[in-house]
Every structure is written in C-alpha cells, then in structure tokens.
Amino acid sequence: MRFVPTELSGVVIIEPDVYRDSRGFFLESYQAAKYEAAGVVGPFVQDNHSSSVRHTLRGLHAQLKRPQGKLVRAVAGEIFDVAVDIRRGSPTYLRWTSVVLSAENFRQLWVPTGFAHGFCVLSAHAEVEYKCTDYYDPVSELRLLWNEPAIGIPWPTNEPLLSDKDLQGAPLSQVEDDFPRFARA
C-alpha cells in the first residue's frame, strides 16, 4: 500500500496493493494501523454511498461546526475528486488538488478536516463510498459555489448536473469569514 502526499499538506492519495488472478481481485480497502501511520486518522463514525450519472457534480462541501475528515473511493465508474484548503491563514489557502478515482485504479483520497470536498462523475455511472470522522450535521453544512472564480477548479464539464442545494452554493465572499483558522504545528 502506498500513501502519496499531495501539494496540500495532509491530503493524501492512497494506492492499495491489488492482488488479481483468474477469479478476480483482492485488496485491503482500509487497515487502521497502516492508515494512522500515514496520517489518515479516524475514528470513522459514518460511511456514505452515492450513485450518480455522468456530469453529476457534488460539492464543494464542508462542515464548519462538526468538521469531517473523509476517506473517499469510487467503487464503480470514475470520478474527478477535489479537495480545497479552506483554512484561513494556511500557506495553501484556497489552493486545490485533484485525482481521478475509479473502480479500475482502486485509489482513495484522504480529505482531512479544514478542506472542502467535491467530485464530478466522468463515466456513464459512478458509485462513491466515503468514510467520515464525524456525523453529518446539516446545521453546520457549508456549500461553496462549485465554480467559485477565486478557487478556479477546471471541472471536466461546463454543464454539471447539480442538486438544488448545490445550485444555491454560496460565493466565497459570503462564507469566508466562517472558515476555520489554520492551526500552526
């Protein structure tokens, strides 16, 4: 299993060892000791599973009062997965990183607290599962505009399929004061 750091401190791409033979494949999708040693720290208290069609865009989401770390993987299809640093004062504030997660490459993305998360479906259909370090709290939910110009993510579609909530995403200017402060180590 390989843990590949990204340009955003704390955001990690996980590449599991996949053992294939004529019957199919086997892999460890999570092993607490290995993940904790690489900085992917639980405990995980909630698992989520979404099913979406091509060009569905979910995000950019975070929770402000009950922040969630998320361990994300595509179990069917392919997605363009994004993490955005929303920690005010961070050296990488408002920078983002992306990775393609798919059922074929088995990669996972660790999105720690202090980051907004979103993804866009690249295949005809995708199923995404992710583990969360805190429970969903609709009261503290942040929905940032998916196409916020100050962030500038080049999403792989110009006409995404968005939920009603994501259509009402807030511009940065309306929510930035609510973002968490970067805690220096």
Spatial contact of 148 and 179, defined as CB atoms under 8 Å apart: no
Q: Does 184 score more than 80 pLDDT?
A: no
Kindly indicate the confidence band of residue 183, based on its pLDDT and cuts at 50, 70 and 90.
confident
Active site residue 135: no
Q: Does 33 score more than 90 pLDDT?
A: yes
- Top pLDDT among 180 and 117 is at 117
Which pLDDT tens digit goes with each residue over 153-162? Answer: 999 999 999 9
Kindly indicate the confidence band of residue 4, based on its pLDDT and cuts at 50, 70 and 90.
very high
49, 93, 117, 130: the catalytic one is 130
Spatial contact of 119 and 56, defined as CB atoms under 8 Å apart: no
19, 55, 61, 93: the catalytic one is 61
Kindly indicate the confidence band of residue 185, based on its pLDDT and cuts at 50, 70 and 90.
low
Reduced to 3 states (helix: H, G, I; strand: E, B; else coil), residue 184 is coil
Q: What is the mean pLDDT of the chain?
A: 96
Active site residue 55: no
Centre a 10 Å sphere on the Cβ of residue 142 and count the other Cβ atoms it contains. 18
Please tell me the predicted confidence (pLDDT) of residue 165. 95
Q: Does 181 score more than 90 pLDDT?
A: no
Spatial contact of 130 and 40, defined as CB atoms under 8 Å apart: no
Kindly indicate the confidence band of residue 66, based on its pLDDT and cuts at 50, 70 and 90.
very high
Measured in degrees and rounded to the nearest 5, phi and psi for residue 114 equal 90, 5
Kindly indicate the confidence band of residue 49, based on its pLDDT and cuts at 50, 70 and 90.
very high
* Cα–Cα distance for residue pair 15/107, rounded to 1 Å: 5
Which pLDDT tens digit goes with each residue over 73-123? Answer: 999 999 999 999 999 999 999 999 999 999 999 999 999 999 999 999 999
